[in-house]
Amino acid sequence: MSQIDLPPGFDFQQAGKDVLEIEREGLAQLDRYINDDFTQACEKMFYCPGKVVVMGMGKSGHIGKKMAATFASTGTPSFFVHPAEASHGDLGMVTAQDIVIAISNSGESNEILALIPVLKRLQVPLICITSRPESAMARAADIHLCVKVPKEACPLGLAPTSSTTATLVMGDALAVALLKARGFTPEDFALSHPGGALGRKLLLRVNDIMHTGDEIPRVSKDATLRDALLEITRKNLGMTVICDDLMKIEGIFTDGDLRRVFDMRVDLHQLNIADVMTSGGIRVRPGTLAVDALNLMQSRHITSVLVADGDQLHGVIHMHDLLRAGVV
């Protein structure tokens, strides 16, 4: 295409708004296709003992990849197979326990049509998503989901725009309907997103990030306040645990306790830590979710908690540890 001048007064904003309006109209009519066929497709996928295999060529393939990814992350095991690659060996990924969802706006994709006889021979259930119930793919399907829009947002009527948006939304409708039917929880979602923020919040436990061993600031009950202050400074957690050699907790002393001691106008060198410590200390168990520890700290307005089984100290966790781990 040769370089041309921008038409005088051309309004990019209006052109963008026209696209949104056309695509909104297409989506507004999509609910007519959430029908008995949709229910049958959901039931077939819900009871599928294998995986949902999604196929599509061109722009439909891009939509299919996103659809498969959404299924997989919301409790429906799924993956995408390129139809052309499937004809050259990748069809071996598909088993009789699986379901195939094939996407084509026209319903006449040659690459997919070439696979259908093999899928039929394997007795793999076939769900086709097209805009034409009379198409070859629709007629070959066990279940046909019609996704039809009044027109494409492309003024030439050529570039898939409204049709791919509607297909994407239909895929989301399938995925979310299945998610609700399965009783899928945020914890289930986190298991497939361990690297994301939600995974960190829901899967990380305090014993994964707590300070242990020599990293724990601790002194005995016989220590002086000066000894305790030196330990707090060395370990840099703003507190120290008072415990015996077997790690049995006696109490805790924090920066906040130190400010109160200053108000007492006492000799720091002579005062015993047992006289000013807070007995017990706020604790969580080792298997506690990190996000629960964070909520506890925020509700109690503290910056660290002890990690313990009863009086047995296992570690210490500080607010900064949770922030570094992305639990926010």
CB atoms within 10 A of CB 240: 28
Find the range with the poorest average confidence among 59-63, 80-84, 263-267.
Answer: 263-267
Residues of the chain with CATH 3.40.50.10490: 12-184
Q: Assess whether pLDDT exceeds 60 at residue 195.
A: no
Q: What average pLDDT is seen over the chain?
A: 91
Nearest Cα residue to 116 out of 100, 104, 95, 96: 100
pTM confidence score: 0.66
170: left (phi over 0), alpha (psi -120 to 50) or beta: alpha
The answer to whether the CB of 170 falls within 8 A of the CB of 67 is no
Using one digit for the tens of pLDDT, what is the confidence trace for 257-315? 888 887 776 676 678 899 899 998 899 999 898 888 999 999 999 999 999 999 999 99
Using one digit for the tens of pLDDT, what is the confidence trace for 1-35? 456 788 899 999 999 999 999 999 999 999 999 99
Q: Which helix (H) or strand (E) holds 314?
A: strand 312-318
Q: Which fold has domain 12-184?
A: Rossmann fold (3.40.50)
The answer to whether the CB of 143 falls within 8 A of the CB of 41 is yes
Residues of the chain with CATH 3.10.580.10: 206-324
d(CA 326, CA 307): 19
Q: Which residues, including other chains, have CB under 8 Å from residue 115's CB and lie 6 or more apart?
A: 55, 83, 86, 87, 91, 102
d(CA 307, CA 212): 10
Q: What CATH number is given for 206-324 in this structure?
A: 3.10.580.10
